[in-house]
């Protein structure tokens, strides 16, 4: 039971990002400060013992100086040395080069031969040698230093002393360093936990907002104002939320518009079919069938437009050099029957050598929709003309599609490229369009990284400017 509770608490606790970050930062800090403490303690301990060794080396220099300026016989030198070290607390032993004790300030080893590790190493290496031992539960230092006469050892001075004072200093320093490190570590862990919670807080806010979007609240936004990466993430999230909301609104409008657009011709077809009677005259029967044909044609055009619009995002541009005047003539051939029905004249004033780089199929689709739009909303006896401008300027060259139709009001002109923005919103006569054509035009223009604009005066006509430059 206790094990299950521990496991549950552990899993719940350590699943939090703030805890994991705090633990990670804490471990990194602890390892770093442990290495620093080790280095500090080692250097301090070494410096203390080095100072002690240096102290005894200075004493040896003094002894060597005294011997140099005393009489040449040991009988005269030793009493002089004894008076200099009689107050010295540590043991000082003066030996000849073979290890025979000439003087012991405690008077124990006089005239005895000492051959311990330190003395042996001095004789062998002609250099100082230090050793540390435990004696009666206390740490003792033994240092042997040679007194040189040119290239040979004349005397050896052996010091032995307890270093408990140094050991105590080192121990006190160690405790101080460890205590200070523990306090700093505790402070750092608390600070890192607070800071990581502050870092994680906006992430939690984003998580909650994401769940709201997952549950359908697409207009959810977060109020996170920061100038770092999290602030950038929050701004991106808000932009994404806004785009998702727009997409959802457009989807709803799309479904509503499609339903409405399909409903009208389907209702007309149903009424026409229900009105048919075997007793109707042939002319009436043919008239009804023609009306049904027109409505089914309209449905077919609408379905094709919908398919084209749905595939726009998957369209891959395959650029080639296109003579625009020839392409316009091909489009005019296709739309000439529609223009003749309304006695609208199609004019092509494009320069003969005007060429562009683009996808031929996309260019044709753009021209068909723009010219068809001008014919559809043109007036009887009117015109649709296409002219080029700035033919030699790569930065602003393009074409104008001009008509003298009914025009578009200022209220609606900014929305005509929206999907399903139909004639009943922007035109003051019977609607014959699905509102998809200009949306397709805009998408294809954007795929080419071109630009398009419109100028219009209600009751006088419209001009669509297509710029073939980024």
Report residue 427's pLDDT band, with 50, 70 and 90 as the boundaries.
very low
Query: Which among 119, 145, 162 is the end of a domain?
Result: 162
- Is position 74 within any domain? no
Q: What is the CATH number of the domain that holds 390?
A: 3.30.565.10
Q: Mind listing the pLDDT tens digit for each residue in 12-27?
A: 555 666 677 777 877 8
Please state, for a pLDDT cut of 90, what percent of the chain lies above it.
13
CB contact set of 310 (below 8 Å; sequence gap of 6+): none
Report residue 424's pLDDT band, with 50, 70 and 90 as the boundaries.
very low
- Is position 56 within any domain? yes
What tokens does 355 get? Answer: 């060429």
- Is position 378 within any domain? yes
What tokens does 35 get? Answer: 């290495």
Q: Do 28 and 138 belong together in one domain?
A: no
Burial of 93 (0-12, 13-18, 19+ CB in 10 A): buried
- Is position 296 within any domain? no
Q: Do 334 and 442 belong together in one domain?
A: yes
- Is position 290 within any domain? no
Q: How many structural domains are present in the chain?
A: 3
Q: Do 112 and 204 belong together in one domain?
A: no
Burial of 51 (0-12, 13-18, 19+ CB in 10 A): exposed
133-142 mean pLDDT = 83
Phi, psi of 355 (to 5 degrees): -125, 155
- Is position 455 within any domain? yes
Q: Do 3 and 112 belong together in one domain?
A: no
Give the span between the Cα atoms of 377 and 48, in whole angstroms: 101
**Entry pTM:** 0.46
Q: Do 21 and 111 belong together in one domain?
A: no
- Residue 385, pLDDT above cutoff 90: yes
User: How many CB atoms sit inside 10 A of residue 61's CB?
Assistant: 12
pLDDT at 404: 92
- Is position 366 within any domain? yes
Q: Do 148 and 170 belong together in one domain?
A: no
Closest CA to 55 of 177, 188, 161: 161
- Residue 38, pLDDT above cutoff 50: yes
Report residue 347's pLDDT band, with 50, 70 and 90 as the boundaries.
very high
pLDDT at 348: 92
Q: Do 322 and 423 belong together in one domain?
A: yes
Q: Do 17 and 156 belong together in one domain?
A: no
- Is position 196 within any domain? yes
Q: Do 327 and 366 belong together in one domain?
A: yes
- Residue 329, pLDDT above cutoff 60: yes
CB contact set of 13 (below 8 Å; sequence gap of 6+): 19
Query: Which among 118, 136, 162 is the end of a domain?
Result: 162
Q: Do 26 and 124 belong together in one domain?
A: no
Q: Do 135 and 103 belong together in one domain?
A: yes
Q: Do 362 and 419 belong together in one domain?
A: yes
What tokens does 359 get? Answer: 């996808």
Q: Mind listing the pLDDT tens digit for each residue in 190-245?
A: 888 788 777 778 888 888 888 888 888 888 888 888 778 888 888 888 888 888 88
Q: What is the CATH number of the domain that holds 93?
A: 3.30.450.20
Q: Which domain holds residue 462?
A: 316-467
């Amino acid at each position: 039971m206790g094990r299950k509770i521990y496991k549950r608490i552990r899993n719940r606790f350590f699943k939090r990002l703030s805890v994991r970050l705090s633990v990670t930062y804490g471990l990194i800090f602890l390892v770093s400060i442990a290495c620093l403490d080790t280095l500090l303690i080692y250097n301090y301990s070494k410096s203390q013992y080095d100072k002690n060794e240096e102290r005894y080396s200075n004493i040896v220099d003094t002894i060597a100086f005294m011997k140099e300026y005393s009489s040449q016989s040991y009988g005269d030198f030793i009493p002089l040395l004894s008076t200099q070290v009689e107050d010295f607390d540590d043991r000082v032993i003066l030996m000849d080069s073979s290890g025979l004790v000439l003087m012991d300030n405690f008077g124990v080893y006089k005239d005895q031969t000492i051959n311990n590790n330190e003395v042996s190493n001095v004789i062998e290496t002609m250099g100082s040698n230090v050793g540390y031992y435990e004696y009666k539960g206390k740490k003792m230092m033994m240092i042997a230093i040679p007194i040189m006469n040119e290239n040979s050892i004349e005397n050896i001075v052996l010091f032995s002393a307890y270093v408990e004072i140094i050991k105590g200093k080192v121990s006190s320093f160690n405790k101080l360093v460890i205590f200070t490190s523990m306090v700093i570590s505790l402070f750092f862990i608390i600070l890192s936990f607070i800071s990581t919670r502050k870092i994680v807080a906006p992430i939690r806010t984003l998580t909650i907002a994401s769940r709201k979007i997952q549950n359908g609240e697409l207009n959810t936004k977060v109020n996170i104002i920061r100038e770092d990466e999290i602030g950038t993430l929050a701004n991106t999230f808000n932009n994404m939320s806004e785009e998702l909301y727009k997409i959802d609104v457009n989807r709803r409008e799309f479904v509503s518009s499609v339903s409405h657009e399909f409903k009208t011709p389907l209702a007309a077809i149903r009424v026409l079919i229900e009105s048919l009677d075997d007793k109707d005259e042939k002319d009436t029967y043919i008239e009804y069938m023609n009306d049904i044909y027109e409505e089914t044609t309209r449905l077919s055009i609408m379905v094709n437009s919908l398919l084209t619009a749905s595939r726009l995002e998957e369209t891959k541009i395959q650029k080639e050099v296109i003579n625009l005047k020839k392409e316009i003539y091909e489009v005019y051939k296709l739309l000439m029957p529609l223009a003749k029905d309304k006695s609208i004249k199609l004019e092509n004033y494009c320069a003969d050598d005007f060429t562009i780089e683009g996808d031929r199929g996309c260019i044709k689709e753009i021209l068909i929709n723009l010219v068809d739009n001008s014919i559809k909303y043109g007036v009887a006896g009117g015109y649709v003309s296409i002219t080029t401008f700035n033919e030699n300027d790569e930065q602003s060259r393009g074409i104008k599609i001009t008509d003298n139709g009914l025009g578009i009001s200022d209220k609606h002109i900014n929305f005509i490229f929206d999907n399903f923005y139909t004639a009943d919103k922007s035109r003051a006569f019977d609607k014959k369009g699905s509102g998809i054509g200009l949306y397709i035009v805009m998408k294809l223009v954007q795929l080419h990284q071109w630009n398009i604009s419109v100028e219009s005066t209600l009751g006088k006509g419209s001009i669509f400017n297509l710029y073939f430059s980024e």
